[in-house]
Amino acid sequence: MITEKTLMAVGANALAAKTYAPLLEKARVVAGDSFLTITSKAGVAMLVAQGAVESAYYKRTQEDLTYSVDALKSLKGNKGRYFTDEQAEKYGYIRRNGAILQQANQRMIANLYYGGRLGNLGVDTDDGWTFKGLTLIQLTGRYNITRWAESCGISVERALDWGTTPEGAVSGLLWYWRNHGLLVPASRGNVPECTRIIQGGSSHLDKRTELFNAALRSLG
């Protein structure tokens, strides 16, 4: 079901489509398990569409934390802002008249943003950076990445490297999909619910819906 045409329909370039289509097609099937195997057109369309958004159209297997100063100032969680004005101005990038005056400090951004949550140790450790988004679904945090590694029978250290490869990136996507309640809402074409599970909100919902419909059309 998942072909190069399917991935190109959701924005993948020819090389990415050639790389990932056979891996995704193999991974969607679990021999002898009709529940875990993704068989419906809606389920397949949802998988490739959400994967496209999370991986920048199958080009990225690690999270890009290149945030501007203003973007960092706007990031808020249940307990308020993740960055003070001083931290945002110190670690975010600054662009003026098309020129970059200050590069983003992605390591510090990751440690402040993810430190002390998602199973990570505190902000004064390197856990946020080490366990930033990984694989096509951007698995994030010590907790999720450790669980995925255990399911694969490999060490966390090995998983951190493997997750950047096409095979590992697909493995992480399918592990998350099957272990976070996405199979049923995906098979029903419920884009908002799948987006909520993946993102915790409605980030890029219009684009996810557009790509889901494009993938459905490509499947005939």
pLDDT in tens, 164-214: 999 999 999 999 999 999 999 999 999 999 999 999 889 899 999 999 999
CA 28-30-34 angle, 5° bins: 100
Whether residue 126 sits in one domain with residue 77: yes
The C-alpha atoms of residue 42 and residue 39 are separated, in whole angstroms, by 9
Whether residue 36 sits in one domain with residue 75: no
Residue 80 belongs to a domain: yes
Q: What is the pLDDT of residues 23-78, one digit of tens each?
A: 999 999 999 998 999 999 999 999 999 999 999 999 999 999 999 999 999 988 77
Residue 186 belongs to a domain: yes
At residue 17, the pLDDT reads 98
Pick the range with the lowest mean pLDDT from 6-15, 75-84, 85-94, 163-172.
Answer: 75-84
Q: How many domains does the chain have?
A: 2
Residue 86 confidence class, pLDDT cut points 50, 70, 90? very high
CB 28 within 8 A of CB 174: yes
48 burial type by CB count under 10 A (0-12 exposed, 13-18 middle, 19+ buried)? buried
CB 61 within 8 A of CB 134: yes
Q: Which of 84, 112, 130 is the last residue of a domain?
A: 130
Question: pTM for this structure?
Answer: 0.92
At residue 76, the pLDDT reads 84
The C-alpha atoms of residue 173 and residue 17 are separated, in whole angstroms, by 16
Residue 172 belongs to a domain: yes
At residue 148, the pLDDT reads 98
At residue 24, the pLDDT reads 98
Residue 50 belongs to a domain: yes
Whether residue 125 sits in one domain with residue 74: yes
Q: What is the DSSP string of 153-216?
A: T--HHHHHHHTTSHHHHHHHHHHHHHHTT-HHHHHTT-HHHHHHHHHSS-TTHHHHHHHHHHHH
At residue 220, the pLDDT reads 87
Residue 125 belongs to a domain: yes
Residue 152 belongs to a domain: no
**Residue 52: which domain range?**
4-60+165-219
Residue 80 confidence class, pLDDT cut points 50, 70, 90? confident
CB 93 within 8 A of CB 105: no
Q: What is the pLDDT of residues 123-156, one digit of tens each?
A: 999 999 999 999 999 999 999 999 999 999 999 9
> Residue 81 pLDDT > 90, yes or no?
no
At residue 137, the pLDDT reads 97
> Residue 127's closest CA among 108, 148, 152, 154?
108
Whether residue 53 sits in one domain with residue 75: no
At residue 79, the pLDDT reads 74
Q: What is the pLDDT of residues 9-18, one digit of tens each?
A: 999 999 999 9
CB 134 within 8 A of CB 164: yes
Residue 151 belongs to a domain: no
At residue 78, the pLDDT reads 74
At residue 127, the pLDDT reads 97
